[in-house]
Structure formats: structure tokens, C-alpha cells
Structure 1
């Protein structure tokens, strides 16, 4: 078992790091200040350098690499900010992979190349006002009529809502409750009958737009059905990869904070010496390093064991849960070590702390991940309704 990156993987990481640290810092500040996502020309710059669709087959315009390579790149972008990393996230581990895995050849040929060349951003629409952790309670309805699909319902907490060009919508193909008749449909932003609520004002995730989505007899061709009713398990398998992406976004907040704090504690002087000379500071930075390394290894395990497939629910949930928890701890430690500077919006520490908390809520809360882990350990699902 070799824990070292290959030469190609290391070169890919270094290229992503050089670009992110050299060209994205000002863009990240702009996203944070305005709340706007990265501009389209910047996303197309990502595409030119091969950072979009890293694990999408070359036949569709991607690099044809594995999940691990995609996550290696994602972490380097996430170290700068969640906002500038989000286009990488959506193109490598989000709904795009569900389309690549389960969509029709026609749909894949239409959507995936546009994603990889930076002309199309695809978001996922899962949660609803009464269906978050209890996802199988979703009510958005898909009705087949004359070879078309009509969508009606409301989606909430859609990252990319109102901004993305297309949406993978989890929906119900029957009024019967439960997971049996749940599937997913792809729909474009400008489809008649699709509208958006106002942008959410969140604690963090500035530059990652979020809004409600309303569907009022929004019509799409039947070929836009990505997962047919009865395929809820397939949808959640695709979401296991998104969990790894979520974990990596959380890790990026932690590893970015750690990289930034190391020179700070060597330069900042109190009582006549650098604060790193105090044992309490030494212990704190060592603990930060331990947590970051452990989270990265758990993510790499899930990705490596499914390099060109989809991760297991237990490995992805363990990685996400742990990375979400340590990201909050590590970014909090960075703020504490920086004192008043860490609490100032002039520096990155407080923004990373806010974003770290968000990743532990998005994509399935920390506690839900623990339920998934226990369920996998025991070998059966737990019915929360009884």
C-alpha cells in the first residue's frame, strides 16, 4: 500500500496550486465582497487549463482521469475559497457525474462537453421545505404526458440556484410515498415554468449562490430523465461521490488555514519571542496537522477505492463526517492563534471558519453521516419515522 502520490498526480497538484495561489486570490476576495460567483471568463479559464471535468471521459471533453485526481485539484482551489472552488466541485463530483453515469447518450453528448469547456454550469436540486435529511419526503412531481415530462414543485437550498445553467432535479414520478418512485430529471434554467426566489443571505458560502427554485408545469423532453423512478439507490450512489467532494471542500478550509497559520506563528512576536516558541502554540499546530492529514487520508481512501467508479456509502460518509468536524476545529484554532487578526474580515481566517461550518450542513449533516455509518456497520437501514 503506497500512500505517496504518483509523479503525475503530484505534478497535477502543483499545477493546480500554482494557478490557484497565483491567479485566484483576488477573485476570491471579490466573490466574498459582492456575493457573486466567479465570472464566466474565469470559469472558461479553468476549462482551458483542464480543471473542469477532470474525471469526465475524454470523449466528452474531460481529462479522463480518476476521482482522486479530481479531488486533489479541488483541495488546492478550496484552500483559496469555497467560491472559486465551486465550479470544480460541480464539474467533477456533483450532478455532472450523475448525468455521466446514468444519463442517456443524447443528454451526455449535449451537456458534458459544455460543462468541460466552461460554457455550462450544472447544479443539483434535492432539498425541499419539508425534505432535507428526510429526502424521501420530497414532493416535487414529475408527470409524463405525450412523451414529455412536466415538473411541479419547490426546491430549497439549491447551491447555484438562479445562477447555474441547468439543474438535476430529484423528483417523484408518483404520489405514492417513499423512495420507490423517486428519480431525477435535468432541466435548463430558461425553461418556461422555471423561476427562482431571492438569493439566500448565508453565514458563509459567499460567492456560492443559493435560492429556491419553483417549477410550474415546466416541460422537458423525456430524454432528460437521468434516473427513472425506482432508481433512488443509484442517485444516492452518485451522491456518495459528492460527499467526497464536500469533504474535500471542508478539508480545503482546514488545510488552507493551516498553511496560512504556520508563517504567522513564526512571525508574530509576544513577550519578546515568536509565539511558536510557546509550547501551547506548538501543541495547537501539531493537532491541526494531525487532523488535516487524517481527513485527507480518509478522502483519498474513498476516492482510490473507487477511482473510476462511485465510492461506497460508508467510506464517503466517514470521510465527509470526519472532514466536516475537523474543518470546524482547525479553522477555529487558526482564528484563536491569530487573536484579533483572526476575527477581522481583513484576513481569511474568519471566512474559512464560516465556510467550514457550512460544509458540515450541506450535502447531508454530520449527524446524518453518522447514521449512515452506523447503518453500514449494522447492515440495515434505520427507519427514523418509527
Structure 2
């Protein structure tokens, strides 16, 4: 067991860090202010530099590296902000991976290379007004009609809703109850019958617009079927990788906050000495470091154990649950150490704090991860309806 990164991984990490730190803080501040997604020319630049689809096969436009490599890069961008990192998140652990693994060869070839080049953004549409944690209660319905699929229903809390180019829509494709009837369809933004609600105003995640998706006799080609009815389990297996990405986005808020606060406590002076000279500050810094390192190791273990396949529900839920939890704690402690400066919108700390709470809700709330963990420990699935 070797906990050291390879020379190539260290170089990849440095490249991502140098680019993100040098060029993205100003962009992150603008996205936060305007609540707009990253500009398309920046996303295409990500693609040109190889930061999109790092763990996607070369035949589909990626670099063909491993999940761990992808998560290493993602953390460096997330340290700057969730918004500038989100296109990377979507390309490496997001719904496009379900397209890559489960869709027809023609759909893979049409969609995945465009995502890796930065010419297309694909979001996931899972939740509904009455189906969040209870995802198998979803009612959005897709019916196969000859060479087309007709979709009706409403999706809510879609990160990327309204500005992404396509959506992997979880929907009911048969009359079978619960998970048995659920599959997924790719719907492009200009599909007839698809409309969007207004941009949501959330506590955090500014720069990651969210909006309702409304399907009214929406029609897409039959080739856009990603997973047929009965494929919910496969979709959730792919989602285990997305959990690792969510955990890394949360970790980035914490590790970025820790890096900034280490600089701050040596620059800031009170009572005639550096803040770093106070023992209470030292103890807090040590606690923050332990939490960040532990979260990172849990996430990396999930990726390593998967051997570049899909991680287990236990490993991914452990990583997500812990990273989501400590991100809130570490960013909160960093904000407190900065005092009024941490609370000010002139500095990124309060943004990290707000985004940290979002990652613990998105992609399966913290308590849902605990249920997953307990189920994996006991070798069973718990039916919350009984």
C-alpha cells in the first residue's frame, strides 16, 4: 500500500493548481457576483488543456487516465470555487459517464467527445417536486413511440438547468413499480417540448445555475435512450463515481479554506503578535488539517479500490458523508478565525462556507449516505417506506 502520488500525478496536480490559482480567482468572483456559469471560451480552454474527461477513454476524446487522476485535478479547481470546477466535475464524474458506459455506440460517439473538448455540457435531471431522496417515487414518464421517445413531467433542482446543452433525464419507462420502471434518456436543450423555469436563487452554488425542466410531449430520437426500464441499479452504480466527485468538490472548499487561513494567521497580527502564535489557533489549525487529510484519503481510497471502474456504494458513501461533514466544519472554523474578513463578501471564505452546505445536500444528503453505509455494513437495503 503506497500513499504517495506518482511523479506523473504530482505533475498533473501542479499543472492544475498553477492554472487554477493563476487565472481563475477573478473569474470565480465574477461568477459569484453575476450568478452566471463559466464562459464557454473558458470551458473550451479547459478542453484544450486536457482538464476535461481526464478519466474518459482516449477513443472518446479523453486522456484515458484513472479516476484518482481526475479527482486530483478536480480538487485543485474546487479550491478556487465550485463554479469554476463544475464543468470539470460534469465531464469526469457526471452524467456523461453514464452515457459513456451504458448508451449506444452512436450516442457515445456523438456526445462524449464534445464534452471532453469543452464544446458541450451535459447535466443530470434526477429530482422532482415530490421525489428527492425518495428518487424511486419519480413520476416523469417516457414512452417509446416508434423511432421516438416522448417525455412528460417536471424535474427540479437540476444543477446546470437552463444553460447546459443536454440532460440525462431519469424517468419512468414502464409501468413496473419503484426502481423497476426507471431508466434514463438524453434530452438536448433544443428538443421540442422542453422548457425551463427561472434561474433559482440559492444560498450558495452561485455560478452553477439551477432551474426546473418542464417536459410537455417532449420528443427525442430512440437512439437517445441511455438506460432502459429496469436499469436504475446501473444508473446508481455510475452515481457512486459522482459521489466521489461531490466529495471532492466539498473537500476543495475545505482544503482551499485551510490553505488560505494558513497564510492569514501568519499575516494577521493581534495583541502584538501573529495569530499563528496563539495556542488556541494552533489547535484549531491541527484539527482542520486532520479533517482535510482524512477526507482526502477516504475519497482516494474509493477511487483506488475501484481500479478505475465504478467505486462501491460503501466506499463512495463513506467519502461523501465524511467530506460533506468536515467541509462545513473546516470552512466554518476558517471563517471564524478570519473574523469580520471571513464574513465579508470581499473575500472567498464566506462563499466556501455557503457552498460547503450545498454539497452536503446535492447528490444525496449526508443522512442518506449514512443509511447507505449502514446498509452496506449489514449487507442489506433498507426500505424507508415501511
Structure-1-length-normalised TM-score: 0.99
Contact 1:157 1:210 in 2 (8 A): yes
Contact 1:170 1:185 in 2 (8 A): yes
Residue 278 (1) aligns with residue 275 (2) = no
Alpha-carbon distance in structure 1 between the residues aligned to 2:361 and 2:307: 26
3-state DSSP of counterpart to 1:179? helix
| Matched residue, 1:369 | 369
| Matched residue, 1:41 | 41
| Matched residue, 2:61 | 61
Contact 1:68 1:307 in 2 (8 A): no
RMSD over equivalenced CA pairs, Å: 0.6
Structure 2: stretches of 5+ with no match in the other structure = none
Shift of 1:176: 3.4
Shift of 1:223: 1.3
Alpha-carbon distance in structure 1 between the residues aligned to 2:92 and 2:182: 24
3-state DSSP of counterpart to 1:180? helix
**Quick check: 305-314 or 129-138, which moved more?**
305-314
Shift of 1:351: 0.4
| Matched residue, 1:343 | 343
| Matched residue, 1:269 | 269
| Matched residue, 1:327 | 327
Q: Report Cα offsets for 1:165-203 as digits up to 9, x if no partner.
A: 000000001233210010000010010100000000000
Q: Report Cα offsets for 1:315-374 as digits up to 9, x if no partner.
A: 000000000000000000000000111100011110000000000000000000000000
| Matched residue, 1:250 | 250
Q: Report Cα offsets for 1:100-151 as digits up to 9, x if no partner.
A: 1111100000001110111100000000001000000000001011121101
Alpha-carbon distance in structure 1 between the residues aligned to 2:267 and 2:378: 50
Structure-2-length-normalised TM-score: 0.99
| Matched residue, 2:186 | 186
Contact 1:143 1:150 in 2 (8 A): yes
| Matched residue, 1:218 | 218
| Matched residue, 2:177 | 177
**Quick check: 171-180 or 316-325, which moved more?**
171-180
Structure 1: stretches of 5+ with no match in the other structure = none
Alpha-carbon distance in structure 1 between the residues aligned to 2:38 and 2:221: 31
4+ runs deviating over 4 angstroms: none
Q: Report Cα offsets for 1:260-311 as digits up to 9, x if no partner.
A: 0001101111111111111100000000000000000000000111132100
